Amino acid sequence: MIGRDREERRVGELVDQARSGRGGALVLSGEAGIGKSALLAHAERAASGFRVLRAAGSEFEQELPYSALHQLCVPVLGRLASLPRPRREALRIAFGLAIGTPQPFQVGLAVLDLLAAVGRPVLCVVDDVQWLDSASSQAMAFLARRAGADSVAVLLALRSPSTVDALGALPRLHLGGLADRDSQALLAARHPFPLDDRVRDRLVAEANGNPLALLELPLAGGFALPAPVPSRVEEGFRTRFAALPEDARLLLTIASADPTGDPGLLWPAAEALGVGAAVADTAGLAEFGARIRFCHPLARSAVYRAASDSARRAVHGVLADATDALTAPDRRAWHRAQACAGPDDAVAADLEQAATRARSRGGVAAAAAFLDQAVALSLDGRRRAGITLAAVEACLEAGSVDRAADLLSTVDMAAQDEPGRARADLLRARIAFSRPGDESGPVWTVSAARRLAARSPGLARECFLDAIETSFVVGRAGGVVEEVLTAARALAPPPAAPDLLEALITWSSDGYRAALPMLRDVLHSEGGPLWSRRPALASMISTDLWDLGTQFAIAEWLLKAGRESGSPLLLRLAFAQKATGAVLCGDVAGALAATAEEEAVADAVGEPPLRHHRLLLAAMSGHRDETLDLLRGFGGTGHVASLHWSAALLHNGLGDHEAALTAARAATGHGDLFLTGVALPELVEAAVRQGEPAEAATALAALSDRTEAAGTDLGRGVTAYARGLVTGAEDDYREAVESLQDSPLLPYRGRAHLLYGQWLRRAGRGTESLRELRIAHDLLTESGAGAFAGRAAEELRAAGQEIGRPPPVHETLTRQQLAVARLVASGATSNEVAAQLFISKRTVDAHLRAIFPKLGVTSRRQLRDHPGLRS
């Protein structure tokens, strides 16, 4: 290699680190032909003593889930039996060796365990990552992010520019063009005789530092019309391809149409087209051995595109015949589809079955691609409409919103019956909810409900609830709930017994007190708790009922259901709910541990972490910059009341009551049905501190109306200290302290003591105030309510008291170290911790080696006894 000293060193460092037991990953990015594949080859040469595993993305195979990951793992699948059963089964399902639904994060962890079981360092080289199927891309990104504690080096070559988001957080090495001097040296090394200076300089100028262009452009090609370098390089490959005999061209076309490079498919297909194995010359475009490999991905692309349509169809037809229908039905269906010259209902039916299989293995993107092709091949109009709607649903699940909208626009609505039109309206609603700024989602949902009201009133009512819940999930609740409930009142006939929709309609029209008995009934209905069907709505209702026990029950149910089903969404909601509950209870270590677990699952499935619980934690902790950064990150989306409540909490804690008043007004005046009650105490305090007694009294009345009806000690206690702020009566503060004395919500207990202590100090009762303020400071510090603890410390210092405490555990350990420490302290083994946090056992042990000295312990037993890690 010429001119790549820096790049060679970086790759060599990665390999050497893996050799010493510290794995890692590196993404090589650059335009086609810039030298990424050459650097991968250099890494293989440098990896003496390594097991080298290879895979490459294929432009023509992106529809097949886990196909590239299977390429990577095939050489070591013999070690599959050594994996724990859940991970072994996850890989078997992903690779089509067993039936079931794979868990993406278990697949990624299973690959990491599989490579760790090799017994020597492993180098994974993956070329053309931009063409990986989405399931493989996700799994390989997961592997790359977690290879640090194992002897595994992962090199991923990615053509730029690229839209592969999963690799965004990985270390990246961008390959630019060679300097002119290096380009000239490369030309001199390639050509044994001197080039004419003008030809050489023109080639160097035209290639613009692209090594493949320098090597592949014809010597006279320096004077060709300007074109992008990769296109001209492909043209060079096409020229070489066109000069070959017909049988060689046909053999190369077969090879280009089969991304697996499997000779067991190539030669039977070649024989079916009358091409023998004696083809002598392929102009160096491909090698035919134990695996068929093209000299460069652009060569494969050039060959495939150079073939005529009829030749490509013929090639795919014989490849379909050569593919085993039992072991590779999806690949066979894909080849059959490419072989079609026009509509074919039989092939469309095969593609539908392939979509079903892909969806069962978690390949929603593959299911969408199969159904998209099935639409194009369906001849029967009615059947095609059904397939199209199924394709739209699959595209939405895969995140392809624009393609879903395009497909939906092709459906002839006039030919649909009312249920079909309702289904289409619901899909339009989902598309609208997925598009920022598109406010038509509720309109389409209401339209679907209207179509279903007479024939299927139960389904119509579910449509209204879908609109409300989806509004919360995507962060568009402001005003939408009232809009939907107004339509529901007019369109949905009342049920025989009150249900959730009826309770929400009553809440909207007649108020909180009137709806409260119905809300409690539907929350704990005999047919099963509401959270088993609609966890988001159940959580919001229980919050408005000041029902902390139900909040905890919902979190536990979500966690259990998520672990049993393997649903990443349920698991993430569970950890977010657990984190929120932990913040409210003042268990900062638990909140951080749950946050780390949610982030681990999000990372495993390639999604950004959830943010509402992180926002609440930052606000309760009094971290102004982090809270404001998180608020900006919502970009105008997110549940309005939740965002402004967190902001009001932050600013009241910091004593910035003007900002708190602005936020609290926004939290309670937005028109949302839910989560207004929890923000009212912040509005009362901010209004009192800012000299707005009338506003404070109005907010207190609204809060009292809710908490008196709810009848919980928590509600009574919070209302009592809010009332004390308005009335200045000692009895109100004493009632708050007494009502909250057994509450698990330490921050609220601490705030009650803080407000009472402030009142006592200003009343000149210094000894009594010191007792309350010390209790407040201890509770608020222990609960991580940093800003409020700071206010208590200021009050104590004003009374002549000094404050000093060692830093709590959550300020000593990183988020993941804290999660590991708490699990080990609870008695979990390293293997159990690894499974729960979706990391390897080596990573767990590495964390423990860092945790012990930080906490001043030397054993797991001492960790279990550490007071800062008790739940």
Contacts of 419 (CB under 8 A, 6+ apart): 451, 452, 455, 456
Q: Which helix (H) or strand (E) holds 334?
A: helix 329-339
Contacts of 405 (CB under 8 A, 6+ apart): 431
Instruction: Copy the structure tokens of residue 316.
Output: 């795919």
d(CA 308, CA 298): 18
Q: Return the number of other C-beta atoms located less than 10 Å from residue 115's C-beta.
A: 26
Banded model confidence at residue 581, pLDDT cuts 50, 70, 90: very high
Banded model confidence at residue 316, pLDDT cuts 50, 70, 90: very high
What is the per-residue pLDDT for 225? Answer: 36
Contacts of 567 (CB under 8 A, 6+ apart): 561
Contacts of 201 (CB under 8 A, 6+ apart): none
pLDDT in tens, 91-131: 888 887 887 766 666 788 789 889 988 889 999 999 989 88
DSSP state of 670: S
Banded model confidence at residue 223, pLDDT cuts 50, 70, 90: very low
Query: CA distances (Å), 312 to each of 277, 335, 675, 789, in order?
Result: 20, 10, 60, 72
Report the b/e string of 322-356 with b at 16+ CB within 10 A: bbeeeebbbbbbbbbbbbbeeebeebbbbbbebbe
Percent of the chain with pLDDT over 70: 89
d(CA 441, CA 427): 9
DSSP state of 494: P
What is the per-residue pLDDT for 348? Answer: 93
Q: Please check the confidence at residue 635 and state whether its pLDDT lies above 50.
A: yes
What is the per-residue pLDDT for 262? Answer: 85
Banded model confidence at residue 481, pLDDT cuts 50, 70, 90: confident
What is the per-residue pLDDT for 604? Answer: 67
**What is the pTM assigned to this prediction?**
0.68
Q: Return the number of other C-beta atoms located less than 10 Å from residue 527's C-beta.
A: 8
183-187, 727-731, 734-738: range with lowest mean pLDDT: 183-187
At residue 85, φ and ψ (nearest 5 deg) are -55, -45
What is the per-residue pLDDT for 212? Answer: 79
Q: Note whether 329 and 370 are within 8 A (CB).
A: no
Query: CA distances (Å), 805 to each of 774, 777, 865, in order?
Result: 12, 11, 20
d(CA 638, CA 660): 19
What is the per-residue pLDDT for 362? Answer: 61
What is the per-residue pLDDT for 8? Answer: 93
Residue 235's Cβ-side half-sphere holds a number of Cα atoms within 13 Å equal to: 13
Which residues is 159 bridged to in the sheet?
A: 30
d(CA 567, CA 168): 24
Percent of the chain with pLDDT over 90: 32
pLDDT in tens, 642-691: 889 999 999 999 999 999 999 999 888 865 666 678 899 999 999 999 99
pLDDT, average across residues 791-802: 87
Q: Please check the confidence at residue 182 and state whether its pLDDT lies above 80.
A: yes
Banded model confidence at residue 409, pLDDT cuts 50, 70, 90: very high
Query: CA distances (Å), 124 to each of 59, 129, 155, 735, in order?
Result: 20, 12, 6, 65
pLDDT in tens, 486-518: 888 887 777 877 889 999 999 888 888 899 999
d(CA 450, CA 421): 11
- Mean pLDDT, rounded, of the chain: 84
Q: Of the spans 231-245, 314-328, 744-758, 815-829, which averages the highest pLDDT?
A: 744-758
Strand order in the sheet with 152-159: 51-56, 122-127, 152-159, 24-30, 172-174
Q: Which helix (H) or strand (E) holds 290?
A: none
At residue 173, φ and ψ (nearest 5 deg) are -125, 110
**Radius of gyration over alpha carbons of the chain, in Å?**
32
pLDDT, average across residues 308-325: 92
d(CA 651, CA 130): 45
Instruction: Give the CATH class of 5-174.
Output: alpha beta
Banded model confidence at residue 226, pLDDT cuts 50, 70, 90: very low
What is the per-residue pLDDT for 189? Answer: 79
What is the per-residue pLDDT for 355? Answer: 87
Q: Of the spans 22-31, 256-265, 592-601, which averages the highest pLDDT?
A: 22-31
Q: Return the number of other C-beta atoms located less than 10 Å from residue 698's C-beta.
A: 15
Query: CA distances (Å), 721 to each of 654, 685, 698, 707, in order?
Result: 18, 9, 15, 13
What is the per-residue pLDDT for 864? Answer: 84
What is the per-residue pLDDT for 200? Answer: 73
**Distance between terminal CA atoms of the chain?**
57
Which position has the token pair 């060796």?
97
d(CA 138, CA 104): 8
Give the DSSP per-residue string, 173-237. Answer: EE--PPPHHHHHHHHHHH-SSPPPHHHHHHHHHHHTT-HHHHHHS-GGGGGSPP--HHHHHHHHH
d(CA 383, CA 388): 9
d(CA 704, CA 638): 27
Q: Note whether 583 and 812 are within 8 A (CB).
A: no
pLDDT in tens, 346-396: 999 999 998 888 777 666 777 888 898 899 999 888 888 889 999 998 888
pLDDT, average across residues 460-467: 86
The per-type count for the chain, helices as H runs and strands as E runs, is 44, 7
What is the per-residue pLDDT for 222? Answer: 36
What is the CATH code for 810-869? 1.10.10.10
Contacts of 844 (CB under 8 A, 6+ apart): 820, 830, 833, 834, 837
Q: Please check the confidence at residue 24 and state whether its pLDDT lies above 50.
A: yes
What is the per-residue pLDDT for 674? Answer: 66
pLDDT, average across residues 36-46: 92
What is the per-residue pLDDT for 661? Answer: 97
Q: Note whether 563 and 575 are within 8 A (CB).
A: no
pLDDT, average across residues 588-599: 84
Domain limits of the chain? 5-174, 180-226, 241-337, 711-805, 810-869
d(CA 360, CA 358): 5
If one compares 490 and 307, the residue with the highest pLDDT of the two is 307
CATH assignment of 711-805, given 3.20.20.10, 1.10.3720.10, 3.40.640.10, 1.25.40.10? 1.25.40.10
Q: Return the number of other C-beta atoms located less than 10 Å from residue 118's C-beta.
A: 17
Contacts of 788 (CB under 8 A, 6+ apart): 622, 653, 747, 750, 751, 754, 776, 780
If one compares 791 and 489, the residue with the highest pLDDT of the two is 791
Identify the CA nearest to 50 among candidates 133, 135, 150, 140: 150
